[in-house]
Amino acid sequence: MAETMRALVIDAAGEGAGLRVAEVARPMRVSDEVLVRVVAAGVNPIDLKTKLGKGVAAAIPSFPAVLGNDFAGVVEEVPYAAHPLQPGDRVYGMARPPRQPGSYAEFVSVSSMSVAPMPVATGFVDAAGVPCAALTAWGAVVDVARAHDGQRMLIHAGSGGVGHFAVQLASYFGAHVTATGSARNAEFLASLGAHRVIDYASERFEEVAGEQDVVIDLVGNVVDDTATRSLRVLRRGGLIVNVPTRSWPTMAEESEAAGVRATGYSVSPDARTLAVISRLIDDGSLRVHVDAEFPFEEGEAAHRRLGEGHVRGKLVLRVAPDPA
């Protein structure tokens, strides 16, 4: 196997930084890691934030750096002969940039606890849109909010990457879901299981949503003080889960004053949970929506599209053709 590979890299982090295709060293598989030949890579807001000097940019050890969390591909090397994953298996999972090179590359080497067999029902492009967003939604909705029958849950940005999974999971576990979104996404959100859709452009959600047990905040205060306004709809003792990093610096103080519970959430690349998500996808209980697929060489265009906002579901980079 060649010692180098093609990757999308950044030469610096900050305003004006861009992605370019470069030849870099192929990652070496070590310890419990699985080496995966990447076929498709999901594009996530954290990738764009990091490129722009936010996100996890401060932890980048050197440049050029390879970004990208989500991947779907084929196993090339495994830790030992009897490993549950075998060369040739179709898998998906999450990389850990900047601790290790990310998934915007022809190969990625990740802990075996970060990778799971792909859903049978999806191709590589759809599968690459799942891990980071679906695991984030699972963590916020299931692990933290403990979605259950009769629970009243408001989900902001319900048609986005994390949001469209959060709506489905909350509905699957029996919650009564209200989602905020644009008018053009109302039908889409209803098809995911939202009982009510509030058009943020024409209604103030805090005036019409009614009392809620939980708010899944995927916006924060970076847009129209969405997080702070959400406190007005929560019952006393209710819970708000704020997901976007550093989007609400005063969360603890404001929530305590309002008499509600609050927490942030950071996703874990957990293969066990990803395996459960695969089963839900295969039995039709969960689906991924890919808004657009970009060629590998057009990574910067994908980032521009993400930065414009209003993406329905996910954006995905096509890194290589589907294997025969």
pLDDT tens per residue, range 232-276:
999 999 999 999 989 999 999 999 999 999 999 999 999 999 999
Say if 324 falls within a structural domain: no
User: Does any domain span residue 95?
Assistant: yes
Domain containing 197 — which CATH number? 3.40.50.720
Q: Is residue 276 part of a domain?
A: no
Distance from C-alpha of 302 to C-alpha of 155, rounded to nearest angstrom: 25
One domain, residues 117 and 148: no
Instruction: Evaluate the omega torsion of the peptide bond into residue 98 and state whether it is cis, within 30 degrees of 0.
Output: yes
By residue range, what is the domain housing residue 36? 4-130+288-318
Flag whether pLDDT at 64 surpasses 90.
yes
Q: Are residues 83 and 151 in the same domain?
A: no
Structural domain includes residue 280: no
Write the pLDDT tens digit of every residue in 282-309.
Answer: 999 999 999 999 999 999 999 999 999 9
- Residue 47's contacts (CB-CB under 8 Å, 6 or more residues apart) are 55, 67, 68, 69, 102, 104, 303
**Structure-block tokens of residue 71:** 């991947």
Please tell me whether residues 152 and 96 are part of one structural domain: no
Please check whether residue 273 lies inside any domain of the structure: no
Q: Based on the domain organization, do 189 and 124 belong to the same domain?
A: no
Read off the pLDDT of residues 85-140 as tens digits, 9 standing for 90 and up: 999 999 999 999 999 999 999 999 999 999 999 999 999 999 999 999 999 999 99
Residues 259 and 138 in one domain: yes
- Token readout for 9 is 């890299």
Q: Report whether 273 contacts 135 (CB < 8 A).
A: yes
C-alpha torsion 127→132→138→143, nearest 10: 140
pLDDT at 84 (0 to 100): 96
Tokens of 167: 């709506």
Please determine, for residue 1, whether its predicted confidence score (pLDDT) is greater than 80. Answer: no
Same domain as 309, residue 251: no
Provide the pLDDT confidence category of residue 24 given band limits of 50, 70 and 90: very high
CA dist 94 and 299 (Å) reads 18
Q: What integer pLDDT is reported at residue 108 of this predicted model?
A: 98
Check residue 324 and give its pLDDT: 85
Token pair of 5 as six digits: 């590979």
Look up residue 287 and give its two tokens. 């689906």
Q: Are residues 245 and 312 in the same domain?
A: no
- pLDDT attached to residue 2: 82
9 and 68 within one domain: yes
Q: pLDDT tens-digit profile of 164-201?
A: 999 999 999 999 999 999 999 999 999 999 999 999 99
Residues 142 and 204 in one domain: yes
Taking each helix axis from N to C end, the angle separating 131-138 and 161-172, rounded to the nearest 10 degrees, works out to: 40
